[in-house]
Amino acid sequence: MPVNMELFQGISGETRDALLKLGQRLHFAAGDALFHQGGASTELILILEGKVKISRVAPDGSSITLSIIPAGAPIGTLHAVDEMPHTASATALVPTEVLSWPLDQMRGIMRNDPVLTANVLAVVARYAALMIMRLEEVSTIPVEGRVARALCRAVNVDGKPKDGVEIPLLRQDIADMSSTTLPTVSRIMSRWRERGLIDGYRGRVRILDSKALGAIAGWTE
């Protein structure tokens, strides 16, 4: 049980035991769906290994990538406090392992442990703040910075890139997450490749100079 992860910090021993009993380890191959937009919300999921793409089908039928969720992050937390159907779809980008808890039983545990409830609400608030931040970035951050931030967030849960990390991302995914166009992303990433910041091939990106990429994102130390 990854008690050091945000969702489970400070929980009681009784809660930990209950979660250990209920949690189910599941494995997904690249391309497998964890859940679908519009489907019933039945589980809270913690990503142990791998990466998950969150996407939504627009009214015109096109699919828009909202975010890439890396290992260490939970998904489905919003539905732990309501009965809404899934507002987006989740797909494994790479072979992915998760811990999954039935929401009805998770809610019962939350009622008996206010720390777990507070942790779940904190995660929901953090995701909401991230969405607000992305909206603000459209009007305040130059497009190259937004593309760098989208790429950094896809690499790591805290947005800090690491040299040598390779992620399976289409340029259209990056364009969606940075609120720009595919041609713009292609031009920017071609320049970064020439400068030695990134490498890779179609559908995959490898980080070569995380310090420079973080500086473009505006996340200098």
Mean pLDDT, residues 97-110 taken together:
90
Strands across the sheet containing 205-207: 166-167, 205-207, 198-199
6-136 under CATH 3.20.20.70, yes or no = no
Where do we find the tokens 């975010």?
A: 67
Common-topology check for domains 6-136 and 141-217: no
The Cα–Cα gap between 33 and 54 comes to 10
Instruction: Note if the pTM is more than 0.95.
Output: no
Query: Mean pLDDT across the chain, nearest whole number?
Result: 86
- Which pLDDT belongs to residue 157? 54
Q: State CA 145 to chain mean position distance.
A: 19
In this predicted model, what pLDDT tens digit does every residue of 28-45 receive, in sequence order?
999 999 999 999 888 999
Report the CATH architecture of 141-217: Orthogonal Bundle (1.10)
Torsion (CA) 207, 211, 212, 216 in degrees, nearest 10: 100
In this predicted model, what pLDDT tens digit does every residue of 176-214 receive, in sequence order?
989 899 999 999 999 999 999 999 877 889 999 988 998
pLDDT-based confidence at residue 3 (cuts at 50, 70, 90): very low
CB pairs under 8 A, 24+ apart, for 194-199?
198/151
In this predicted model, what pLDDT tens digit does every residue of 16-25 receive, in sequence order?
888 888 999 9
pLDDT-based confidence at residue 115 (cuts at 50, 70, 90): very high
The Cα–Cα gap between 214 and 220 comes to 6
Cβ neighbours for 166, distance < 8 A, ≥ 6 positions apart: 200, 204, 205, 206, 207
Torsion (CA) 209, 211, 214, 216 in degrees, nearest 10: -80
The Cα–Cα gap between 57 and 186 comes to 23
Mean pLDDT, residues 53-58 taken together:
89
Q: Residue 121: is its pLDDT beyond 70?
A: yes
Is the CB of residue 220 less than 8 Å from the CB of residue 214? yes
Lowest mean pLDDT among 6-10, 91-95, 108-112: 6-10
Give residue limits of the domains in the chain: 6-136, 141-217
